[in-house]
């Protein structure tokens, strides 16, 4: 299987939204308009394409955007600079084929070139054990826990 990594564009919005929906509740629900806003805020947003179709994506934000996520705000309060992984998702059809790992290797390389850490969070409640293992495998260290509403998340940082 040939995987092409390229920057996401607004023309990918519907496919991003669809893949995000497949990943609920782990990815967090967003509308197509919110996907467009995330792309607007993003400093690094890439997709993995198989035979021209989007198979997975990652959307990363820089610090100090107007994005209203409490998890994102937690990192803004504690880190001067970072590459925040707002969401990473792989279509069910392409899971367990190293697409998520390939996307994360690109994110980590981008952050290393910028000499900044990568930040992310993973649901503790509702639990997302697959994502916990994924972040552990990729060298992320847990630096905190944030509880809000009916949800709690583990906060992670990767820095090489």
30, 17 Cβ separation under 8 angstroms: yes
Task: Residue 69: give the domain boundaries.
Answer: 3-158
139, 158 Cβ separation under 8 angstroms: yes
How many folded domains does the chain comprise? 1
What are the DSSP calls for 113-143, one per residue? HHT--EEEEEEEETT-HHHHHHHHHTT-EEE
Three-state DSSP class for 45? Answer: strand
Long-range contacts of 127-134 (CB under 8 A, 24+ apart): 128/26, 130/26, 131/26, 134/100, 134/101
The pTM of the full predicted model, rounded to 2 decimals, is: 0.94
Return the CATH number at 31: 3.40.630.30
Per-residue pLDDT tens digits of the chain, which is 160 residues long:
899 999 999 999 999 999 999 987 777 788 999 999 999 999 999 999 999 999 999 999 999 999 988 999 999 999 999 999 999 999 999 999 999 999 999 999 999 999 999 999 998 988 888 889 999 999 999 999 999 878 899 999 999 8
């Amino acid at each position: 299987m040939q995987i092409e990594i390229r920057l996401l564009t607004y023309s990918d919005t519907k496919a991003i939204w669809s893949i995000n929906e497949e990943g609920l509740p782990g990815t967090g629900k967003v509308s197509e308009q919110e996907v467009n806003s995330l792309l607007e805020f993003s400093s690094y947003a890439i997709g993995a394409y198989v035979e021209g179709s989007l198979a997975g994506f990652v959307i990363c934000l820089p610090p100090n955007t107007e994005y209203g996520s409490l998890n994102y705000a937690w990192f803004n309060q504690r880190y001067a600079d970072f590459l925040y992984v707002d969401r990473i998702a792989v279509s069910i059809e392409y899971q367990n084929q190293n697409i998520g790992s390939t996307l994360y290797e690109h994110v980590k390389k981008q952050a290393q070139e910028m000499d900044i850490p990568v930040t992310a969070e993973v649901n503790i409640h509702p639990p997302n054990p697959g994502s916990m293992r994924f972040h552990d495998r990729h060298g992320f260290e847990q630096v905190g826990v944030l509880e809000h509403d009916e949800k709690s998340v583990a906060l992670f940082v990767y820095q090489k």
